[in-house]
Chains A and B, each alone.
Chain A
Amino acid sequence: MLSKKELLKIFYKLSIELVDIKDLKLEVSNYYFELLLNEYGDDFISLLNNNYFGKKAKSTSSERKLNGLIIYLWYTSEFITRSELDSFFDVSDDFNKQNEFVHSSPVPYYNGLVWKAIRAHPLGLTGGYFGYWKYKPEN
Chain B
Amino acid sequence: MDKIKNKKYDYIIVGSGICGSIAAYFLAKFNKTVLLLEAGETRDKDRIEMSGRYARTSRKTPGSPYVKENQFADSPDFHENIKNNNSEKNKNFYVFDIENNKFKNVFKSTYQRITGGSTWHWLGNVPRFIPSDFKMNSIYRVGKDWPITYHDLETYYCIAENEIGVSGNHEKWNKYLGAYRSKSFPMSEIWECYADTLFIKKVDGKSINGKEIRILPTPQARNSENYDGRPACAGNSSCVPICPIQAKYDATVHIKKALKTGNVDIIDNAVVNKLIENENKEIIALSYLTLNNNKVEIDTKTAKVILAANSIEIPRLLLNSGIANSSDQVGRNLMDHAQGYVTALTNEKIYPFRGPLTTSGIDAFRDGEQRKELSAFRISIGNDGWGRIKSPNAVVRELIIKENLLGSKLYNAVEEKVTRMIRMSYSTEVLPNKNNRVTLSDIKDNIGIRKPKISFNISKYNADAFEVAKEVCTKIFNEVGVSELSTNDNRDYSGAGHIMGTTCMGNDPEKSVVNDYGNSHDNHNLYIIGPSVFTTSGTANPTLTAVALTIRTIDHLLNNKITKNEV
Binding site for B on A (CB under 8 A): 17-21, 67-68, 71-72, 75-79, 88-89, 91, 94-95, 97-106, 109-110, 113-115, 117-137
Contact = CB atoms under 8 A, between A and B. Distances in A.
B59 A20 contact: no
A102 B57 contact: yes
Q: Is the interface of B mostly helix, strand, loop or mixed?
A: loop
Interface string B384-408: 0000000011101100111000111
6 contacts: A68-B400, A72-B393, A78-B393, A124-B55, A126-B235, A130-B233
Nearest to A77: B58
A97 B235 contact: no
A100 B238 contact: no
Contacts, number: 164
Given A19-B407, A114-B418, A121-B237, A127 B354 contact: yes
Nearest to A94: B394
Given A19-B411, A118-B414, A126 B193 contact: no
Give the interface residue-count category, chain B: 35 or more
A45 B360 CA distance: 51
A76 to B, nearest CB: 4
B462 to A, nearest CB: 25
Interface stretch (B46-54, B130-138, B540-548): B46-54
Contacts of B60: 123
Contacts of B244: 124
B192 A134 contact: yes
A117 B236 contact: no
Interface string B69-113: 000000000000101000000000000000000000000000000
B119 interface: no
Interface of B: 51-60, 64, 67, 81, 83, 191-194, 197, 224-225, 232-238, 242, 244-245, 349, 351-356, 359, 383, 392-394, 396-397, 400-402, 406-408, 410-412, 414-415, 418-419
A111 B550 CA distance: 44
Contacts of A134: 191-194, 197, 355
> What are the 7 A-B residue pairs with the smallest beta carbon separation, nearest first?
A133-B355, A106-B55, A20-B407, A120-B353, A126-B234, A124-B238, A131-B191
Given A18-B407, A75-B396, A114-B414, A125 B236 contact: yes
Contacts of A117: 411-412, 414-415, 418
